[in-house]
Amino acid sequence: MRSFTRFAWAVLTYNLLVVAWGAFVRATGSGAGCGKHWPMCNGQVVPRAPAVETVIEFTHRAMSGVALLLVVALVVAAVRAFPAGHPVRKAAWASLGLMILEALVGAGLVLFGWVAKDTSFARGWVMGVHLANTFLLLGALALTADWSAQPGGMRFAGRGAIAGGLWLGFASVLLAGVTGAVAALGDTLFPATSFVEGLRQELSTEAHVLLRLRVLHPFAAIATAGVLLLVARLALRLRPDARVRRAALGLVGLVAVELLAGVVNVALAAPVWLQLVHLLLADLIWIALVLLAAASLAPGRVEVTAETPAALPAGLGG
């Protein structure tokens, strides 16, 4: 099982790289590098004498193709290593379904021309859908890896406050992620050279809808950070074991770094490299929350109550 677990984590890591390169495609305006052709690139299997934008877009497509093959291999390995009905099998199959949907959304962006300098509201909406599906895909891959080495499955029924807190956490991260995707698109389409210029763009009476929506992300991010800190604290109070502790403290650390990255990103007017770091941290926060849910809601776990107190880490108790 250890070899499967290592392979599953490797597949997840590779997909994080694919997501980061996809953000690089968007941030550099290279989404139209292959024209309105999919899966071909400018009508060719391998483009000849390509422009820089074509190389960037074609590289992303090639990486995505490898990612699909890796997830197929993951499903085959899960079917061979685990019995029917095992949570690892379910998570692996979910990963494959979400990977296919990810490819279809990407194809739609290209075929409908929602790339490069397109400023349509439809593009912003689809980018939000793309981000949400990416989160779900990464979560399914994380569960495939985690459940191959830990007790698998999650039971929300009868879990009271922690179940409700986790659902709120998932919804909050999705909201912050979607507003972040729209904000990043606005940064790409309407670049600013400074924080003051960016603020002036947003407050202009003639501002594009994507610029008007960009201002929502900082508020959503701050609110989400507060929710996640409360969820981590609650999880540590109700299930203070090593597995929960690792996930909760990892989540808290990532939230702190992400908030700092967000402030610097705004101050520096969203340079491409920092956009990629910001997105990667958001992906890692989502994965950490998924792993916290897997640890807190594993079948058979018993919540700590007033009758069964447990010590909490300093600073996280109440």
C-alpha distance across the termini of the chain, in Å: 39
Question: Above 70 in pLDDT, residue 307?
Answer: no
The answer to whether the beta carbons of residues 236 and 244 sit under 8 Å apart is yes
Q: What is the average per-residue pLDDT within 27-32?
A: 89
**pTM to 2 decimal places:** 0.89
Q: CA 203 to CA 156: how far, in whole Å?
A: 43
Task: Check if the beta carbon of residue 182 is closer than 8 Å to that of residue 124.
Answer: yes
- Is residue 37 within 8 A of residue 58, CB to CB? The reply is no
The predicted structure's pLDDT at residue 315: 43
Q: For residue 189, is pLDDT > 50?
A: yes
CA–CA dist 142, 154 (Å, integer): 14
Q: Residue 225 burial by CB count (10 A; 0-12/13-18/19+): exposed, middle or buried? A: buried
**Closest of 241, 105, 235 to residue 163, by C-alpha:** 235
pLDDT at position 303: 52
Note whether 20 and 280 are within 8 A (CB): yes
**What confidence tens digit (pLDDT) does each residue in 268-304 have?**
988 999 999 999 999 999 999 999 999 999 886 555 4
Task: Tell whether the model's pLDDT for residue 206 goes beyond 80.
Answer: no
Alpha-carbon distance of 42 to 191, in angstroms, equals 28
C-alpha span between 288 and 201 (Å, rounded): 35
Say how far apart CA 209 and CA 186 lie, in whole Å: 9
Type of residue numbered 197 = E
Please report, for residues 59, 82, 220, 265, the alpha-carbon distance to residue 50 in angstroms, rounded to integers and kept in the order given: 11, 45, 40, 32
Report the 10 Å Cβ neighbour count for 2.
8
Question: In this predicted structure, what is the pLDDT of residue 197?
Answer: 77
pLDDT at 127 over 50: yes
| Beta-ladder partners of 41 | 44
Give the C-alpha separation, 114 to 102, whole Å.
15
Residue 34 has pLDDT above 50, yes or no: yes
pLDDT at 238: 85
